Structure 1
Amino acid sequence: MTASDSRASQPSGSSSYVTFSLADETYAIDVLQVQEVLKLTEITPVPGVPDYILGIINLRGDVVTVIDARRRLSLPVREPDESSRIVIIDVDNQNIGILVDSVAEVVQIPAESIDPAPAVGNDQTSRFILGVSSSNEGLTILVDLNKLLSDEEWASLREL
């Protein structure tokens, strides 16, 4: 994918993003895909799933699969603490929970301030990055949820 291809796939104008922390870095996902943010609750493990799938939770009668964003993005694993949150997102009309270190705020990011993802890391993790935005507060890494839950992995989530 070239830089122009990456910019072409990004929204025009300004979009709202929910920012969260992972391994002392700031990440963001499109606010329109976020359903709610939960404090850490009991997660029931499910045998035989990829290691980044922590298990399932009961959310008002619905079973929701929870993934560990750190493991999925190949970051160092850390035990959840009081600031850890589960971000409930909607992907293809199905709710999925993503465990993050903490949730910060909703921010507006103009499309013109989003640069293509730099060619760092490995192809496995860099494919999850939509782009990077720089501001006075530092860098924000925009996560592409559709790629984070690509077809192969998404198929395993639907089997839960």
Structure 2
Amino acid sequence: MQASTALVAPDATAAALASEFLAFTLGQEEYGIHILKVQELRGYETPTRIANAPEYIKGVVNLRGIIVPIIDMRIRLNLGAPTYDQFTVVIILNVAGRTIGMVVDSVSDVIMLSPEQVKPAPEMGTALKTDYLIGLGTLDQRMVILVDIDKLMSGSELGLIDTLGS
């Protein structure tokens, strides 16, 4: 009896350590955020602009009575001019107890990654800020840039978002 329990335990542990990420694209790259941060997916609708907001904050939308700031990640990450089409998706997130919408080019799927499939992000020195990266997820021939959305949305941005949402 003891031997069969020992054989089951490592697999159960590995399953418990595996993490699910929502994979999405920005430009030519594929990114992933932890699935537990995602509240829902919505098609892109033009938000109401807020005067004097940074360019990457497209505005706000009313989501069932909650005013949700919408952040365009292509602008936020300096990935070129965004285009909005039928594939553009707004990922509604829960970040630090706040509801935020994140505009991405498209959403592909939910991927399961074990700790062995997540490699540390490369050191870029001071030329590129990478402290918001969890690492790089490898899945067959895919490489997914895993983003810590809490770190990416810094405290000062969340303060700004609080101001916009009130």
Give the TM bin, normalised by the shorter chain.
0.7 to 0.9
SS of the equivalent of 1:146 reads helix
> Is residue 2:124 matched to residue 1:139?
no
Map Cα deviations across residues 46-93 of structure 1 (whole Å, 9 max, x no partner).
Answer: 111122111101111111000011111121122211100000000122
Residue 109 of structure 2: aligned partner: 105
Alpha carbons 2:113, 2:139 under 8 Å: kept? no
- Amino acid of the residue matched to residue 144 of structure 2? T
Supply the AA of the counterpart residue of 1:17.
Answer: F
Does the Cα contact within 8 Å between 1:39 and 1:85 map onto a contact in 2? yes
- Where do 5+ consecutive residues of structure 2 fail to align? 1-15
Among residues 125, 128, 132, which one is paired with 1:123 in the alignment? 128
Distance apart, 1:120 and its partner CA: 4.0
Alignment of 1:74-89 (within 5 A): 74-89=78-93
| Aligned-partner Cα distance in 2 for 1:43–1:51 | 13
1:45-64 alignment runs, 5 A limit: 45-64=49-68
Query: TM-score scaled to structure 1, two decimals?
Result: 0.87
Q: Find the residue that maps to 1:123 and give its secondary structure.
A: coil
Q: Tell me whether 37-46 or 131-140 shows the greater mean CA deviation.
A: 131-140
- SS of 2:55's equivalent? coil
> 2:141 and 2:68 mapped to 1: Cα distance?
33
Identity of aligned residues (%): 34
Preserved contact between residue 13 and residue 112 of structure 1 (Cα < 8 Å): no
Q: After the TM superposition, which parts of structure 1 deviate over 6 Å for at least 4 consecutive aligned residues?
A: none
**Post-superposition offset of 1:151:** 0.9
Q: Which residue of 1 aligns with 2:13?
A: none
Which structure has the greater CA radius of gyration?
Answer: 2
Q: Aligned pairs, how many?
A: 148
For the residues of structure 2 that align with 1:106 and 1:138, how far apart are their CA atoms?
A: 13
Pairing 1:33–2:34 present: no
Q: Which runs of 5+ in 1 are unaligned?
A: 1-11
Q: Deviations over 1:74-133 (max 9, x none)?
A: 211222111000000001221100000001111101122111111349433x22211101
User: Counterpart of 2:150 in 1: which secondary structure?
Assistant: helix
- The equivalent position to 2:160 in structure 1, one of 153, 156, 159, is 156
More helix by share: 2
Q: Which amino acid aligns with 1:118?
A: P
**Hey, what's the Cα distance between the residues in 2 that align with 1:147 and 1:24?**
23
